[in-house]
Amino acid sequence: MSPIQRLVDAFHRLPGIGPKSAQRLAYHVLRAPVEEARDLAEALLHVKESIVLCARCQNVTDRSPCRICADTSRERTVICVVEEPLDVVAIDRTGGYRGLYHVLHGVVSPSDGIGPEDLKIEELLRRLRDVDTEVTEIIVATNPNLQGEATSMYLARLLRPLGLKVTRLARGLPAGADLEYADDVTLGRAMEYRQEV
Amino acid sequence: MHIAHLTLTNVRSFRRLDLALEPGRHVIAGDNAQGKSNLLEAVQMLATARTLRGGTDLDVISWPAVEEDPLPVARLEAAVQTAQGKRTLEIAVIAQETPPGMRPTRASRRFRVNGVARRASDLIGQLRVVMFSADDLEIIAGAPAVRRRYLDITLSQFDGAYLRALQRYGRVLEQRNSLLRKLQERRGRPDELDFWDDELASTGALIAQRRADAIRALARDAAERYAELAPSEAEDLAICYVPRLPPAVAEAIREHDLADRLRATLVEERREDILRGVTRWGPHRDDVQFLIGGRHAGNSASRGQQRTAALALRLAEVELSTRRSGDAPVLLLDDILSELDPARRERILQVAYGVDQVLITTPDEDRPSREEMPDAVRYRLAEGILTRQ
């Protein structure tokens, strides 16, 4: 296999990169100065070598415990459980949540061969059984689809016996949405989960 | 309702079809293999969002486009006029991007309603059609899966809750069956089934109840139509729903607690389900029985009786669709008139004058004749080109 083809294939394996984009990226690297290529290669290796999972929240980090877990100004009574590391970034960006996180690294989906034992659930239970735990509430922030709901129900049944309050993110209309263009399911949910003003 | 405008681009045998339509009857004559059925199937696809005749999405795109265009796309567009106003529907079937020189092997569908990108479920039902074709015989004589597909296509067009439950049921069933196979290999724990059983029960109960209601209405009307279509025949048509539920649960199909009973069944039957690695109870295994003179129409009725039963069912469907949504569906008659005797043709033409719009294809310009349908707009279809006469 030619070196160019090897690079094209490597890009093609990345999520969201089709064959045409892979070609474009490969030829961009080919034309770029050698420093840029070296920088990219080093960045790729460095991220794999230096990034670990936080021993507490299982988020990706360059040091364990991660910055969020180590931050003493954060509330220690509530843990927000998310599917992926990017969800932590999304929720933290809102600035409205100042508690801790736990990253599951996936959702229950039997047809993809993923059961509860493949997720970081045991790690969550270990955190909650810790004698020093101050946690009283778990917010389940999995996606509002079938697999997300299955995961959330499984967690709720596991966590309620521990005497914890288990909550779920609200479902309904996105901010700035136009009622006229909302689909039936979303609108129906928004009606079902309406709030008093 | 009626279709005010239909545009097909690169759809099967049509490179380009641009057709302004009025309410009323439209007769499209043409020799075989000129694309008559393709035209009606394209309209049906705009109504049901389903690729038809067992073909793949890629088969919707015309061959010259797949061979020559850098990015082959088939586009189906319709402007539909209903009592509630005008809406535009669009389906784009887009071939998968391939490296130069390679032929695409797959395609995907994109849907728009009133110009806004939507899911298939938001498109379905915006245009309602009832298609009569020679394939209808399969509903009577074919496998149970054909009858379930018939029910799903029919009900989804006027029952949004049914469509949503059906889609969710399919996803849940796939997950539950995967979990059963995993448990069969003694991996995982049976209580992981709880969530999937709950979901399967609530969506499955809705599906079963809506099917029961629809079949009751179809059975009553189809029996009457059958008697009218075959006045000399002593035998009658009966249609019954055969839900795949234990008898005690099936008896309670109209009860509000059907979901609880179905859930109890799923929990009770877990051991056996795990053993077989498959969900054995629920509407994915339903059937519908067609009985003529009390005997199974599929294997003991004559070809003629089966054909009459299929026709009666479609006529009942027109009534059900009209009753459930307030206005009549568009009728699509795919080359069915030439094989009917004059009395039956007369009956179909009567129905054709009871709805807003009918599209009829025929290999024989004289079926229906100008006397039978004096006001029809007539077209000639040859080599993918439609000419108004």
With a CB-CB cutoff of 8 Å, which residues 145-174 of chain B face chain A?
Answer: 160, 164, 168, 171-172, 174
Please tell me whether residues A21 and A84 are part of one structural domain: no
The predicted-structure confidence for B87-108, as pLDDT tens digits, reads as follows: 999 999 998 877 777 788 889 9
Cβ pair A181:B116 closer than 8 A: yes
User: Residue A60: inside a domain, yes or no?
Assistant: no
Please tell me whether residues A10 and A45 are part of one structural domain: yes
Strand spans (E) along chain B: 2-11, 14-20, 24-29, 73-82, 85-95, 107-113, 116-118, 129-132, 237-242, 287-292, 295-296, 330-334, 357-362, 377-382, 385-388
Question: How confident is residue B218, by pLDDT bands cut at 50, 70 and 90?
Answer: very high
The predicted-structure confidence for B164-185, as pLDDT tens digits, reads as follows: 999 999 999 999 999 999 999 9
User: Residue A18: inside a domain, yes or no?
Assistant: yes
> Splitting chain A (197 residues) into consecutive groups of 10 residues, what average pLDDT does each group show?
89 90 92 93 90 93 92 94 96 93 96 92 93 90 94 92 91 83 82 87
- A129 contact partners, CB below 8 Å, separation of at least 6: none
Q: What are the two backbone dihedrals, phi and then psi, of residue B302, each rounded to the nearest 5 degrees? A: -75, 165
Nearest to B122 among A113, A150, A183 (CB): A183
User: Which residue of chain A comes nearest to B188, CA vs CA?
Assistant: A115
User: Residue A138: inside a domain, yes or no?
Assistant: yes
Cβ pair A146:B116 closer than 8 A: no
Question: How confident is residue B67, by pLDDT bands cut at 50, 70 and 90?
Answer: confident
Nearest to B164 among A110, A116, A185 (CB): A185
Mean predicted lDDT score pLDDT of chain B? 92
Cβ pair B171:A146 closer than 8 A: yes
Question: How confident is residue B199, by pLDDT bands cut at 50, 70 and 90?
Answer: very high
Three-class SS of residue A103?
strand
Residue B353 has pLDDT above 70, yes or no: yes
B238's tokens? 């009966």
Question: How confident is residue B259, by pLDDT bands cut at 50, 70 and 90?
Answer: very high
Estimate to the nearest angstrom the gap between the alpha carbon of B228 and the chain centroid: 25
Give residue A155's domain range: 74-168
Please tell me whether residues A86 and A19 are part of one structural domain: no
Question: How confident is residue B54, by pLDDT bands cut at 50, 70 and 90?
Answer: low
Please tell me whether residues A20 and A97 are part of one structural domain: no
User: Residue A173: inside a domain, yes or no?
Assistant: no
- Separation in Å, CA of B227 to nearest CA in chain A: 41
B210's tokens? 């809506």
A102's tokens? 């736990």
Candidates B173, B123, B112; CA nearest to B148 is: B173
Please tell me whether residues A87 and A158 are part of one structural domain: yes
User: B52 vs B136, which has greater pLDDT?
Assistant: B136
Please tell me whether residues A35 and A90 are part of one structural domain: no
Please tell me whether residues A97 and A154 are part of one structural domain: yes
- Separation in Å, CA of B283 to nearest CA in chain A: 19
Residue B25 has pLDDT above 70, yes or no: yes
Does the predicted interface ipTM exceed a cut of 0.90? no
Q: How many domains does chain A have?
A: 2
Q: How many residues are there in chain B?
A: 389
Predicted confidence at residue B180, as pLDDT, reads: 96
Q: For residue B381, what are the CA distances in angstroms to A23, B16, B334, B378?
A: 45, 13, 14, 10
User: Residue A13: inside a domain, yes or no?
Assistant: yes
Q: How many residues are there in chain A?
A: 197
Question: How confident is residue B7, by pLDDT bands cut at 50, 70 and 90?
Answer: very high
The predicted-structure confidence for B246-256, as pLDDT tens digits, reads as follows: 999 999 999 99
Give the count of beta carbons closer than 10 Å to the beta carbon of residue B376: 18
Please tell me whether residues A84 and A12 are part of one structural domain: no
Mean pLDDT calculated for residue range B253-269:
94
Query: Chain B residues with CB inside 8 Å of A183's CB?
Result: 118-119, 122
Please tell me whether residues A115 and A149 are part of one structural domain: yes
Give the count of beta carbons closer than 10 Å to the beta carbon of residue B279: 24
CATH number reported for the structural domain that contains residue A26 in this entry: 1.10.8.420
Please tell me whether residues A105 and A44 are part of one structural domain: no
Mean pLDDT calculated for residue range B63-87:
89
Predicted confidence at residue B79, as pLDDT, reads: 97
Candidates B174, B175, B169, B239; CA nearest to B208 is: B169
Query: Chain B residues with CB inside 8 Å of A178's CB?
Result: none
Euclidean distance between CA atoms A67 and A73, whole angstroms: 11
User: Residue A63: inside a domain, yes or no?
Assistant: no
Share of chain B above pLDDT 70, in %: 99
User: Residue A187: inside a domain, yes or no?
Assistant: no
User: Residue A19: inside a domain, yes or no?
Assistant: yes
Residue B381 has pLDDT above 90, yes or no: yes
Say whether residue A86 is in contact with chain B using an 8 A CB cutoff. Answer: no
Please tell me whether residues A46 and A78 are part of one structural domain: no
Predicted confidence at residue A76, as pLDDT, reads: 93
Angle at Cα B172 formed by Cα B168 and Cα B173, nearest 5°? 115
Letter for the amino acid at B126? Q
- Separation in Å, CA of A20 to nearest CA in chain B: 7
With a CB-CB cutoff of 8 Å, which residues 115-174 of chain A face chain B?
Answer: 115-117, 146-147, 149-150, 153-154, 157
Please tell me whether residues A80 and A164 are part of one structural domain: yes
Predicted confidence at residue A66, as pLDDT, reads: 93
CATH number reported for the structural domain that contains residue A161 in this entry: 3.40.1360.10
Predicted confidence at residue A140, as pLDDT, reads: 96
